[in-house]
Amino acid sequence: MYSIVVMRVGQPQIRTFVDAIHHLRRLDVSVPPDLERRVSALLRRPTLDDFSATTGRELAQMWLTLLNARGDDVLAWIVALLLFETCFAPTDPRSREIDAALQEQTTLGGRAMRAIGTHFEIKRRLAGRLYDFGRRGKISAANRSILQTAVDLFDDLLATDYNAGRPNVRVKYVGMRGVAHLLLARGDEDSTPRYMLACADLEESRHLGDTSAEHDQYLLEAYLKRLDATGDVSILDRANEIVRDARARHATARGLLTQEGELLLRRALLLPKGPETAEEQLRVFESALHSFEAALAAPPHQSFADDYIRTKCGMSRFRIYVARAKLGNPDPVLLDEAITDLDRSGEDGLGDGGLSLPWALTIRAQVHVAESRFDAAVGDLERAAVMANDLPETPAVKALRSVVRTRVAISRLDKAAAEGDVDRIIAAVDETLDSVTPDLNVVGSVAHAGRALLKLGRDDTQLILRIVEFADAARHQTSAGAIPVAYACANAAGLLNIIAKERSGDEYLVRAHTLFSEALTIAHQAPTEWWIFAGDVALKLAKKKLAADNDGEAMHYFEDAARWLSAAIDSATREEDENSPFRYREAYSKLGEAYGRLHSITFDDEYAEDAISAMTESIRLGNNTPQIYGLLADVHYRRGRSRSGVGDLREALRLKSLAREVPTDTPVVSGSWRENLSLSAGIALRIFRITSVAEDLAAAVLLACNAAREDPTWPWPIFQLADMATAARGTTLRHALQEGANDEFAQLVLDGAADELDRRACRLAIRNPSNLEQKILGGRQKVYVLRDSHRLLSESFVFKPTTQESAERELASVAEFREFLAQRGAPRTFRLPTPITTIPSDRAGTVTYVMRRSEGVQLGTYVLRSMRLTNTAPADVVDGAVAFLAHYHAWKLLRSARRAGQGVDRVLASIGRLWRSTFDPDTARITVSQLRGLLPSGLPLLAKKDAHPENWLVTSRREIVMLDLEATAQLPLLFEVAQFLEDYPFFDCSVGGWSARLRVVDHYLSALSRLAPGFALPALSVCRAAYEKYALVRAAIGIGETRSSAPQASSVSSVLRAVTARRDHYRALAQYLAVDGTDASTRVVAASLCEAVTKRAHTTSPAVQTTAPAVPGDDWLW
């Protein structure tokens, strides 16, 4: 008869009236004070004692009493049914006694009552009462909770109730559940999924026989909402079928007539646009109006108020007016009638004209302007503007606002021309931008209007970008002076900075940075505000680049931020600070952050001193926040780490502790201090490595344990504890760590279980992917690395998904290469990743290969920073990396047979793509052909390493880290040496610079010859000539990659100077080889490259962009 009954997930165990009240309150239901009296009256009991103490026979009698109760006290019924649902559950120990007592009674069908059937009857009645209660009044949090509970009960009944298979029962279950889904969908942010559930249930209940007008109205509402969200015409077709069928049964049902009009409106709007459908569209709009007027004449319905239907009549009349106007027959009287209908709004609040009313007012304003009724036009437009601003942000609303602004401008300008009123002409920004040629004299006014719009919360990015384009185009006027151009750039940059805050758009920030750079470069005395805003933009971009592991660009952006914020502080006056004390505090804080980040990239102690000075000043000015103490601690830590300075490290530890103690207005959530505690542990461990004092190591262990507890999903503290377990061997840590004797992690440290802690940390990292970020390190395969957004970790853990076979091969490769390095006496500064473990994954034969590698700065960034301090590339780093490359090539030569390589073909293909995107196709084709013919033949092939400077790291101890051992192809001898040396301007393009290059080339060849004795090197002259050719290939790649015009080297921006320097390096390299190349063919091809670059420069000019005003579509109806 019935399915086996199981408890619903989350089913409350309600045994007392108090339990029921608590349950209702959890559902946000307001409990009236007399509810206990009402439930007692319903059950005819003087008090509601603990039902768990009531006998089964008494419960059976109480149920029979409830069945005979009269009245419609829904809430009292819900409480009683909640109590009975728990007591009558088969799991209740009184179940048999209840069953025996009930069998003395019979059902209406003459069968003996049973406990199991009664339990289902209780659930049916409870679901129905919850459904009834949830539908009453306006949808609130309580209604939604009750309706969702009803849905859950209906789900349970449909799954477990044997009677659910009977049509007369199932029709009720799915019908009520469908309406509940519909009512819940009305309040959902993403309502489509629940409207689809409502359609499915209501379609089924209709199929089972419920064809009442109310049922079909609910079903049609669900379909209409889905149609509005998706535009799926098939939904419209099905809804039309239901309307036709329902109208045949219920000809005068107001709701069905209204929904018929709604469908006709949508059908008209979904017709293809064009003159061939204009008359058909007009007829459908007229049919919609007919349906709405018939609905008004039908008997009233509480869900379809007169004002609501009149609003729909107004929408139809307005659409009819527009359709007739397109056909050349406008009817102003019909437009007035439409606005009258749309303007109706009763107390029920249903008279909402949506977009139709402001559009109708806008169009009527045109009629007023044509008849010189300017005041009437402005009145209509001002009303339309207010309405449009109150509507939710959609493309259709944005289009309306744009049109209204334009029309307001036109009306006011016409009125000003007629009456001489010019006070509010500035409001016509759209008209100005459309009609005025970009002019520096106008930039200030339109930019000021743009800033006012943004300040007032007008989120119109397209309009602001049009103002930016206007200002950008104006600065290219040939007769413009420096100061107006600087102001145009600064105005445009300021607007871009503001919209970048709203839109989080990197492209706006990059462009703002470029414009600020130009403004600050050409202005003799730039205002303080320019420096502040420019520094803020540079700092934001720098942090984004750093997070993306682009150290080179990040360094230059941080340098800009530091320079510009310093200039802002220098140009301001202390008198200004008295009026705005936070301004200096914020500037010093940001300046300190910029210097601190620079120190993290360059290891330059001068930056650390500057960061400490700026942050200390910010604190002196009242910046007492955890963030400033944390940032200051980071600087001391990095400097102490690089210097092995205990004083800096202890100060960092003190500041980290202080950051945790500073009161803050922001609520502290779980995991807030994980980085603070973990870094504090790392600081304490580093102190121990210097002092060898067991108490320092104990402090590190306790801090790491606290970090692990702060966020149990974060693996980094456990990796730290593994290091501590290794460091603890042979110490007196057990005595010093008595405080943590009961901590599991501390015990593992004391036991020296480093391998076990590493394995736990690896598994934890893999189980929580949010701790990882995907990167490409060295090779082409994507791997995952533990996040370290603040660059505070001295090591990183790399997680590489791969096959078991590949992991074993890579483990063997690392071991073999490490052994090779040891056998050949390689310098100790050569570092490789250290394998930790492999962890099986869910897929058979696959694992995650985990390795540890040192953190550091990309080699290219490190070398360029050193060159700026000393004017020469650091020989130990450059020579070391080239020697490391020679070791790699020698190892690969001895390890495996050489294959035919296609690496050069791929390089030439990439040059072709780059040049086709910059030069004309013929130039690109000729260049690739010339380079192909230039390349030497017969040189030995070596394993490809991808040796460009970004694929190496330099640690704070000047160790060189090779990121990847994969060899994906073969390249000729010296090809990768040229790639490494010419990717950045490590050497100038002079005779002396070329001699410096050849010294490094000779160093590489000598190392390769020594490391691979059996490898036959070509003659030195052949090798040097080959290097020239490969250097020219690198120049061709660089010219293609830096194709955009760069600013002059005199720019105040480090970023733009670096772009210029790299662009100029590639051009200078080609020019040097065109004159001083030792091979005639090299000189010819180099000269051809130079000619192509010169020709392009003469044919490239900046373009003035314009943005067309938005054209409103037909989707504004709903």
Contact 640, 686 (CB under 8 A): yes
Please state the separation of Cα 141 from the chain's center in Å.
30
| pLDDT at site 437 | 63
Q: Is pLDDT larger for residue 577 or for residue 1081? A: 1081
Residue type, 861: T
Residue type, 300: P
| pLDDT at site 197 | 94
pLDDT, mean of residues 536-551: 86
> Is it the case that residue 590 has pLDDT exceeding 60?
yes
Contact 396, 442 (CB under 8 A): no
| pLDDT at site 702 | 94
- From 289-303, 353-367, 815-829, 899-913, the region with the lowest mean pLDDT: 899-913
C-alpha distances out from residue 863 to 104, 517, 551, 857, Å: 95, 25, 12, 10
Counting residues of the chain whose pLDDT is more than 70, the rounded percentage is 84
> Is it the case that residue 196 has pLDDT exceeding 90?
yes
Q: What residue has token string 């395969």?
A: 781
| pLDDT at site 757 | 92
| pLDDT at site 888 | 93
In this prediction, residue 659 has a pLDDT band, given cuts at 50, 70 and 90, of: very high
d(CA 722, CA 225): 57
pLDDT, mean of residues 835-847: 83
CA dihedral 358, 362, 368, 374 (to 10 degrees): 90
Mean pLDDT of the chain, nearest integer: 82
What DSSP line would sit under 452-475, residue for residue? Answer: HHHHTT---HHHHHHHHHHHHHHT
Q: Alpha helix (H) ranges present in 250-373?
A: 254-269, 278-297, 306-326, 332-342, 356-370
> Is it the case that residue 473 has pLDDT exceeding 60?
yes
> Is it the case that residue 1006 has pLDDT exceeding 90?
yes
**How wide is the angle at C-alpha 904 spanned by C-alphas 902 and 906, nearest 5°?**
75
The closest of 46, 48, 45, 75 to 61, measured between CA atoms, is 45
Report pLDDT digits (tens) over 732-755.
Answer: 888 888 877 678 999 999 999 988
Q: What residue has token string 């004795």?
A: 1013
| pLDDT at site 737 | 86
Q: What is the 3-state secondary structure (H, E, C) of 711-778?
A: CCCCCHHHHHHHHHHHHHCCCCHHHHCHHHCCCHHHHHHHCCCHHHHHHHHHHHHHHCHHHEEEEECC
In this prediction, residue 900 has a pLDDT band, given cuts at 50, 70 and 90, of: very low
The closest of 379, 357, 363 to 311, measured between CA atoms, is 357
d(CA 729, CA 750): 8
> Is it the case that residue 581 has pLDDT exceeding 60?
no
| pLDDT at site 435 | 63
pLDDT, mean of residues 365-384: 84
- Radius of gyration (Cα) for the chain, nearest Å? 39
pLDDT, mean of residues 456-483: 73
In this prediction, residue 405 has a pLDDT band, given cuts at 50, 70 and 90, of: low
The closest of 828, 770, 771, 823 to 797, measured between CA atoms, is 771
Burial label, 648 (beta-carbon count in 10 A; 0-12, 13-18, 19+): buried
**SS3 call for 269:** helix
Burial label, 769 (beta-carbon count in 10 A; 0-12, 13-18, 19+): exposed
Q: Is pLDDT larger for residue 464 or for residue 293? A: 293
Work out the angle between the directed axes of helices 115-135 and 95-102 (0-180°, nearest 10): 90
Please state the separation of Cα 818 from the chain's center in Å.
41
In this prediction, residue 451 has a pLDDT band, given cuts at 50, 70 and 90, of: low
Q: What is the DSSP letter of 1044?
A: S
Tokens of 145: 């909770």
| pLDDT at site 917 | 78
| pLDDT at site 573 | 67
| pLDDT at site 672 | 79
What DSSP line would sit under 29-81, residue for residue? Answer: PPPPTTHHHHHHHHHT-SS---GGGS-HHHHHHHHHHHHT--S--HHHHHHHH
d(CA 863, CA 1061): 14
Q: What are the φ and ψ backbone dihedral angles of 34, each rounded to 5 degrees?
A: -95, 15
Contact 480, 512 (CB under 8 A): no
> Is it the case that residue 1117 has pLDDT exceeding 50?
no
Report pLDDT digits (tens) over 199-233.
Answer: 899 989 999 998 998 888 888 888 889 888 888 88
> Is it the case that residue 1013 has pLDDT exceeding 60?
yes
In this prediction, residue 11 has a pLDDT band, given cuts at 50, 70 and 90, of: low
Contact 962, 832 (CB under 8 A): yes
| pLDDT at site 736 | 85
pLDDT, mean of residues 12-40: 87
Tokens of 814: 């690392």
| pLDDT at site 1105 | 34
pTM value is: 0.54
d(CA 609, CA 630): 16
C-alpha distances out from residue 17 to 23, 24, 25, Å: 10, 11, 12
> Is it the case that residue 895 has pLDDT exceeding 60?
yes
| pLDDT at site 1001 | 93
- Sequence-distant contacts of 1053-1056: CB under 8 A, at least 24 apart: 1053/513, 1053/514, 1053/517, 1053/520, 1053/521, 1053/538, 1053/556, 1053/560, 1054/555, 1054/556, 1054/557, 1054/559, 1054/560, 1054/563, 1055/513, 1055/517, 1055/538, 1055/553, 1055/556, 1055/557, 1055/560, 1056/514, 1056/517
C-alpha distances out from residue 815 to 140, 802, 823, 828, 944, Å: 66, 18, 12, 16, 20
Q: What are the φ and ψ backbone dihedral angles of 89, each rounded to 5 degrees?
A: -65, 145
Report pLDDT digits (tens) over 681-715.
Answer: 999 999 999 999 999 999 999 999 999 999 999 88
Burial label, 439 (beta-carbon count in 10 A; 0-12, 13-18, 19+): middle
